[in-house]
Structure 1
Amino acid sequence: MKIDVIGDVHGCYKELTELLDKLGYRDHDGIPIHPEGRKISFAGDLTDRGPDSLKVIEKTARIITAGKGYYSPGNHCDKLYRYLKGNKVQIKHGLETTVEELNQLNERDRKTLRDTFMKLYEEAPIYQELDGGKLIVAHAGIQEKDIGRYTKRIKEFVFYGDVTGEIMENGMPVRKDWALHYSGQPWIVYGHTPVKNPRIINKTINIDTGAVFGGKLTAFRYPEAETVSVPSSMNFDAARFREYPGS
């Protein structure tokens, strides 16, 4: 099984199309197809902050519907889903950009987009267990003991990481480095916390290289364990990237 896992897109449709092209996918009636039969995996956070969240939703939905890829949601996907359901959510931290795009649509197109995303979200697993469990894709990561299990606590971890409830000076939440303690055999591919370059520790890799913050959009190629990136067209915001000791 050959899979290309793509990190947090956050509405960066231009970078997504460039990355798929660089990975060797070619468009067939709006669906990217790879000559080697590779499939695409999305690690969550398709939307918010970037300029083209709705195009990213539509592209992802076409890929999943055609059976050419996999998707599991991130915290931004979850918040958009709750917004579209009519739940009371705060329209900030990037959601405002997606809401603005939605408000520019006519009523019919807005309903179509809403239905497309809600179906995509509702049919998605909390995290992906691929290639017989040898590859795990979880938005913010997952603890080894939780693989194969599904609870509210695990869902919170997968969406937000190992948060402490504390807030850093830059307004970002304090997140413990769960990957330091991973000793399992499956690859765990995740994102959520932007890093300047893909970060491998034990058998985990963070591929959120901050495309929406002016970094890169990155894919992890499985089973080759290689990364492929394209540069972002967005303005660089150094404060958004997490620095790890020794990085």
Structure 2
Amino acid sequence: MAIVGENSSSFLNLPEEHGPFHIIGDVHGCFNELQALMHLLDYTIHFNEAQQRYQVSAPGGHKLIFVGDLVDRGPDSPNVLRLVMDMVAAGQAFCVTGNHDDKLYRMLLGHKVQVRHGLELTVTQLAAYDKAFHTRVKNFISGLPHHLMLDEGRLIVAHAGLEERLHGISSRGVRELCLYGPVSGEKDEKGLPIRLDWAAEYCGKAIVVYGHTPVFEPSWRNNTINLDTGCVFGGRLTALTYPEQHLTYVDAYKTYADPVRPFLQRPVSSFS
């Protein structure tokens, strides 16, 4: 195992980790849907009251991988964080940093950030937790890589994706691309950066799994797949089984937030 870089400006190279994996898209505080998806994938989840920790049993040697954006907008970001932190600590899961996770981290450091786009909900939810939990969250996010290289480089996981020439590179610029994706430098009518479709021209041999931008349903494009199916916006929470490339989902229990960019109702899906 090789960790390259410093703290959250690193990537994590795990060539010996061949899977099988369940890779889960942006959770955004949708804890009940996360539990339901994990149960559908045959995980058992138990909360140990005495230790205040989640204990998880995984099916058939599978490990979970989270594509980031664990927090904000949804109803229970703290328990999403606790479950993921406990699984990572137990060696049962990996996680990359999402832009929402990074913003929470900067806020916990005391930096001045704009408390909006769902961060205000996470702040309110975390107020019920003690300082030790806040410190644990801060340390956890600090140690997350911006992208993962797995299965001898055959699998790349980054929150907003990453083009082939940058796989395995650690720099501030690569980290920004992993968290936010490439942009044109212009803004749309809502004042938001216009994102570039990097996957349209991807021609790498490694599979790249990512999230960040909600889609109606995931589809393979040039050996890449976006697993953010907008659960927090009333869509679905989706998992990809690797290496089999099977998709599993649960529908959102409700619409928790309105997207900044339009996220229209999904057509009837063809995956299960």
TM-score (norm 2): 0.83
Q: How many residues align?
A: 239
Identity of aligned residues (%): 44
Q: Which amino acid letter does the alignment assign opposite residue 5 of structure 1?
A: I
Q: Which amino acid letter does the alignment assign opposite residue 18 of structure 1?
A: A
Partners of 1:17 and 1:116 lie apart in 2 by: 22
TM-score (norm 1): 0.92
Cα 1:207–1:242 shift into 2, 3 Å: farther
Q: 1:199 aligned to 2:223?
A: no
Cα 1:241–1:171 shift into 2, 3 Å: farther
Which residue, out of 44, 49, 62, partners 2:86? Answer: 62
Q: Which residue of 2 aligns with 1:169?
A: 189
Partners of 1:171 and 1:143 lie apart in 2 by: 26
Q: 1:24 aligned to 2:42?
A: yes
- Aligned ranges 1:91-110 → 2 under 5 Å: 91-103=115-127, 105=128, 109-110=129-130
Instruction: Give deviations 1:64-106, integer Å, cap 9, x for gaps.
Output: 0000010111000000000000001010111111011122x2x
Q: 1:12 aligned to 2:25?
A: no
Q: 1:188 aligned to 2:188?
A: no
Q: Which amino acid letter does the alignment assign opposite residue 17 of structure 1?
A: Q
Q: Which residue of 2 aligns with 1:90?
A: 114
Which residue, out of 186, 200, 208, partners 2:228? Answer: 208
- Aligned ranges 1:39-78 → 2 under 5 Å: 39-78=63-102
Which residue, out of 60, 67, 79, partners 1:36? Answer: 60
Q: Which residue of 2 aligns with 1:241?
A: 263
Instruction: Give deviations 1:32-87, integer Å, cap 9, x for gaps.
Output: 32230100001000000001000101000000000001011100000000000000
Cα 1:242–1:169 shift into 2, 3 Å: farther
**1:67 alignment partner, SS class:** coil
The alignment yields a C-alpha RMSD, in angstroms, of 1.8
Q: Which residue of 1 aligns with 2:6?
A: none
Cα 1:227–1:171 shift into 2, 3 Å: farther
Structure 1 stretches lacking a partner, 5+ long: none
Specify which structure has the higher proportion of helix.
1
Partners of 1:96 and 1:72 lie apart in 2 by: 22
Q: 1:178 aligned to 2:198?
A: yes
